[in-house]
Amino acid sequence: MKSTAQSLFQPYELPSGLTLANRIVMAPMTHLSSQADGTVSDTEIAYYARRSEGPGMIITAATWVLPNGGMPGAPGADDDNKIPGLRRLAATIRERGAKAILQLFHTGRQGTRTGDLVAPSAVPEAREGAAVPRALEEGEIAAIVRAFGEAARRAIAAGFDGVEIHGANGNLTHQFFSPLSNRRRDRFGGDLERRMTFSLAVVDEVLRAVREHADQPFAVGYRLSPEERDMPGNAADSPEQQEIPGITMEDTLEFVDVLASRGLDYLHISLTDFRNPPRRGSWGSKSRLAILQERVGHRVPLVGVGAVHTAEDALDAIESGIPLLALGREMLMEPDWANKVRDGRSAEIRTTLSASDRERLFIPEPMWQLLLSIPGWMPFEGQ
pLDDT at position 280, please? 81
pLDDT at position 236, please? 43
Is 71:111 a contact under the CB 8 Å cutoff? yes
Is 231:246 a contact under the CB 8 Å cutoff? yes
pLDDT at position 297, please? 95
In degrees and rounded to multiples of 5, residue 165 shows phi and psi of -85, 120
Give, as one character, the DSSP assignment of residue 181. T
Provide CB contacts within 8 A for 33, sequence distance 6+.
41, 43, 44, 47, 73, 364, 365, 366, 367
DSSP-derived 3-state class of residue 185: coil
Spell out the domains of the chain, with CATH numbers in brackets: 3-372 (3.20.20.70)
Cβ neighbour number for residue 173 with a 10 Å cutoff: 26
pLDDT per residue rounded down to tens, the chain (383 residues) = 455 578 899 999 999 999 999 999 999 999 999 999 999 999 999 999 999 999 999 999 999 999 999 999 999 999 999 999 999 999 999 999 999 999 999 999 999 999 999 999 999 998 899 999 999 999 999 999 999 999 999 999 999 999 999 999 999 999 999 999 999 999 999 999 999 999 999 999 999 999 999 999 999 999 999 999 877 655 445 555 557 789 999 999 999 999 999 999 999 999 888 888 888 877 778 889 999 999 999 999 999 877 777 888 888 888 778 999 999 999 999 999 999 999 999 999 998 999 889 999 999 999 999 999 988 888 888 65
Strand partners, 76: 64
Query: What span, in angstroms and rounded, lies between the C-alpha atoms of 188 and 120?
Result: 8
Query: What span, in angstroms and rounded, lies between the C-alpha atoms of 326 and 304?
Result: 6
Query: What span, in angstroms and rounded, lies between the C-alpha atoms of 377 and 159?
Result: 33
In degrees and rounded to multiples of 5, residue 134 shows phi and psi of -90, 135
Query: What span, in angstroms and rounded, lies between the C-alpha atoms of 119 and 69?
Result: 10
In degrees and rounded to multiples of 5, residue 345 shows phi and psi of -115, 35
pLDDT at position 4, please? 55
Measure the CA dihedral 266/270/275/279, to 10°.
-120
Is 327:27 a contact under the CB 8 Å cutoff? yes
pLDDT at position 184, please? 97
pLDDT at position 103, please? 98
139-145 long-range Cβ contacts below 8 angstroms, 24+ apart? 141/188, 141/198, 143/66, 144/65, 144/66, 144/69, 144/106, 144/172, 144/202, 145/198, 145/201, 145/202, 145/205
Cβ neighbour number for residue 204 with a 10 Å cutoff: 15
pLDDT at position 382, please? 63
CA distances for 103 relative to 13, 41, 164, angstroms: 20, 17, 4
pLDDT at position 276, please? 85
CA nearest 102: which of 220, 271, 224? 220
Is 351:379 a contact under the CB 8 Å cutoff? yes
pLDDT at position 274, please? 80
